[in-house]
A and B are shown apart, each in its own frame.
Chain A
Amino acid sequence: DAGVTQSPTHLIKTRGQQVTLRCSPKSGHDTVSWYQQALGQGPQFIFQYYEEEERQRGNFPDRFSGHQFPNYSSELNVNALLLGDSALYLCASSYYSGSDNEQFFGPGTRLTVL
């Protein structure tokens, strides 16, 4: 049983470009959350998707957008990249229960903006 997978592993972009990161949740999971982790910092919550809808959103600008597909996989899109967007982007999946807050994280995508 594969866990959470993310692609690509690493990515290098230049300022102003757009990027799309992908996530496949753990089998049986229907909820996907995205986090940004800067070097030396804890993960910062970006948003969460369930039933193809954004359920929660952190304090991130509209340049950060997402999508969830019928097979529960998800994409994170970032437009007009800034140097400060360089970070490890983590995807976490879970099964909607209304109480259990356990999330399974993928290995992340390392984004470098030059």
Chain B
Amino acid sequence: LAKTTQPISMDSYEGQEVNITCSHNNIATNDYITWYQQFPSQGPRFIIQGYKTKVTNEVASLFIPADRKSSTLSLPRVSLSDTAVYYCLVGDMWQTGANNLFFGTGTRLTVIP
């Protein structure tokens, strides 16, 4: 069963690039890596998903090495509104019967003015 490990917290100044790494040593062949953002008293919000190599969208990039045992979420030029908890989720939500959707404990990112 893939489980994830992330740093508990990170601080960054506005305008900097932030990289959050998630370790998932037991990732399975069919597992995807998905990152979510969560603000207090709200449900998580999808940021980006990948399987291998690099994925980029309008808000973030996701880097996945060849062995897929870790992944790095990159947020370019963060702003105060990016202060939130970021979760790495590893699993395949379409695999019938399997208990394989794991959120980590999350990384609390604080953006400083």
**Once the chains bind, are A58 and B87 in contact (CB under 8 Å)?**
no
Query: Is B41 in contact with chain A by the CB < 8 A criterion?
Result: yes
Q: Select the residue from A43, A101, A103 with max chain B CB neighbours within 10 A.
A: A101
Q: A42-B104, A56-B95, A56-B96 are in contact. Are A100 and B49 (CB under 8 A)?
A: yes
Residue of A nearest to B93 (CB): A101
Contact partners of A100 in chain B: CB under 8 A? 49
Write the B73-87 contact mask toward A (1 if CB under 8 angstroms, else 0): 000000000000001
Contact partners of A44 in chain B: CB under 8 A? 103
Write the A63-107 contact mask toward B (1 if CB under 8 angstroms, else 0): 000000000000000000000000000101010111111111111
Contact partners of B113 in chain A: CB under 8 A? none
**Once the chains bind, are B101 and A41 in contact (CB under 8 Å)?**
no
* Residues of B contacting A: mostly: loop
Contact partners of A57 in chain B: CB under 8 A? 97, 99
Minimum C-beta distance from B57 to chain A (A): 11
Minimum C-beta distance from B3 to chain A (A): 11
Q: Identify A108's interface contact among B43, B87, B103, CB under 8 A.
A: B43
Minimum C-beta distance from B46 to chain A (A): 5
Residue of B nearest to A40 (CB): B105
**Once the chains bind, are B99 and A42 in contact (CB under 8 Å)?**
no
Q: Identify A56's interface contact among B36, B44, B101, B102, CB under 8 A.
A: B101
